[in-house]
Structure 1
């Protein structure tokens, strides 16, 4: 009895330490949010941003403290199976085009055709040569549009494929020894391969219009990572729910269609009134789309947008925690439904 108690105490040491570190980081972040001051911003809006950020921080801390054991299972499984994940992701990417004559070349033909189509329509047919963005900067509309479409195509494809990951690999879900938690991330990584080629096309277009890569361009890696974590966090919820509610797949398709217009891809957020901007910025893809543009031609660092960066990561971490709990809760019933 004494030995069991001692083992239990030793086992709880890493947990207490991890929770303490998480709370400490959250406390430091909350302090930075409270102390941050922008004299140029509206004080009422500034106060609302601080309150929203602090509420999200407290909510995340509560979830992490209560459900620590369940929340840490998923990251551990992903870390332990990282080699298998990488291998399966490459196989998944190759499998899409198996049997076709050109094979993986089709994965790269589509982005090129898409960009050329937009270039012909907007630059040649409609003669839409420039787009006035925030700060009074004029950029070629094709570059402006492509910088918004690249992250959106990645988000759309990764979320759609991640949502159906369990159903596509249903034969693996029924295997007791297989860690099915790695299936959504396999789909997201496979979508990342195509996204990487999209980014290359985007940079080539920027160079063609005279916007050469600089140190700011390195932020593309940061914003790609942001999008990767965001779509993965959402996918763990959607892939678990869609097993029991197949209509979710159609709903996601509609949401993505609406979301493209709710995100400043074809239009600029500076067109909105000051009251409407905070509402649209609740959409995390606004942060990513604007981030890609900042990295390519606006030459702004991500930490210059303090509240946007803080909100995005608090929101994404909270979403990942919720997704982990939903996936963990429903996992035991997957094999019975499929």
Structure 2
């Protein structure tokens, strides 16, 4: 029953692929319409953020990070690129109905495609940064190979995960506007809890005494995606070499997707009235 609902949702998305694609491209362009630099602004903030973190941990406070077999900039960029995508996609997806409220009020429009549009719009920026990441890696002698192709897989993982969450948050935020600042706080904490800036090995002594600490970190589905990027580019590990973590991620993600679409469907009859 659960599988049938999930496959039906996938089929609906596929059937609306042309509409979704056109809306996503227009959404990406519309964000920066009227500005002199246009879409370049979509890339400036993440690049500046990466440079700031690199300066703080590599130059100003090198002792604040755990030593690694890799240059710190490689560890940082392979973790923060998928995180930026997740953050941008979830922020946009959560506000999809609020931003396109004029479409929500149209009876004939399929409003279920709006969260997908915002997530796809975020992918355009993500593709650029993934390319920058590969260039930086190549600059340190780590050129793309077969393992690197897994980036497509992990991007798909992030897409399905954030879309499922966005279906729920985009519906809930209409009735509970405080959800946006709550999500922002989660992002501020989450960037340190995945972890992205530091390595889990820094807690090695504590994990020997309390092995449950490692499992708590791995319960976060973004751990699977971010470390997947690192394993695809730095450690050269295939995703099927972590069968338990892969199975956990997909079980969690499918359940989250079903919860999100169910919440969206249950609340959508009230959207037009509230908006």
So what's the TM-score if we normalise by structure 2? 0.92
Which structure has more RCO (C-alpha within 8 Å, separation ≥ 6)?
A: 2
The answer to whether residue 26 in structure 2 is matched with residue 95 in structure 1 is no
Runs of 4+ in 1 over 6 A off after TM superposition: none
For the residues of structure 2 that align with 1:269 and 1:337, how far apart are their CA atoms? 45
Alpha carbon RMSD of aligned pairs, Å?
A: 1.9
Tell me, what secondary structure is at the counterpart of 2:107? coil
For the residues of structure 2 that align with 1:313 and 1:88, how far apart are their CA atoms? 28
For the residues of structure 1 that align with 2:75 and 2:23, how far apart are their CA atoms? 35
The answer to whether residue 130 in structure 2 is matched with residue 199 in structure 1 is yes
Unpaired runs of 5+ residues, structure 2, are none
Query: How far 1:131 moved relative to its partner?
Result: 4.9
The residue aligned with 1:172 is 103
The residue aligned with 1:283 is 220
The answer to whether residue 244 in structure 2 is matched with residue 307 in structure 1 is yes
Query: How far 1:201 moved relative to its partner?
Result: 1.3
For the residues of structure 1 that align with 2:66 and 2:71, how far apart are their CA atoms? 6
> 2:66·2:202 contact (CA, 8 Å) conserved in 1?
no
Query: How far 1:128 moved relative to its partner?
Result: 6.6
> 2:57·2:65 contact (CA, 8 Å) conserved in 1?
no
The answer to whether residue 112 in structure 2 is matched with residue 181 in structure 1 is yes
Aligned match of 1:260 in 191, 194, 197? 191
The residue aligned with 1:296 is 233
Query: How far 1:129 moved relative to its partner?
Result: 11
Query: How far 1:277 moved relative to its partner?
Result: 0.6
Query: How far 1:109 moved relative to its partner?
Result: 2.8
Query: How far 1:126 moved relative to its partner?
Result: 3.6
Counting only pairs closer than 5 Å after superposition, residues 1-80 of structure 1 correspond to structure 2 as: 19=1, 64=2, 74-80=9-15
The structure with the largest alpha-carbon Rg is 1
Query: How far 1:305 moved relative to its partner?
Result: 0.9
Distance 1:282 1:157, change over 3 A: same
Count of aligned pairs? 269
The answer to whether residue 142 in structure 2 is matched with residue 211 in structure 1 is yes
For the residues of structure 1 that align with 2:268 and 2:155, how far apart are their CA atoms? 29
The answer to whether residue 50 in structure 2 is matched with residue 115 in structure 1 is yes
> 1:184·1:235 contact (CA, 8 Å) conserved in 2?
yes
> 1:129·1:140 contact (CA, 8 Å) conserved in 2?
no
The residue aligned with 1:319 is 256
Query: How far 1:130 moved relative to its partner?
Result: 8.4
For the residues of structure 2 that align with 1:157 and 1:183, how far apart are their CA atoms? 15
For the residues of structure 2 that align with 1:271 and 1:254, how far apart are their CA atoms? 24
The residue aligned with 1:34 is none
> 2:74·2:136 contact (CA, 8 Å) conserved in 1?
yes
> 1:130·1:139 contact (CA, 8 Å) conserved in 2?
no
Query: How far 1:110 moved relative to its partner?
Result: 3.0
> 1:203·1:213 contact (CA, 8 Å) conserved in 2?
yes
Query: How far 1:210 moved relative to its partner?
Result: 1.8
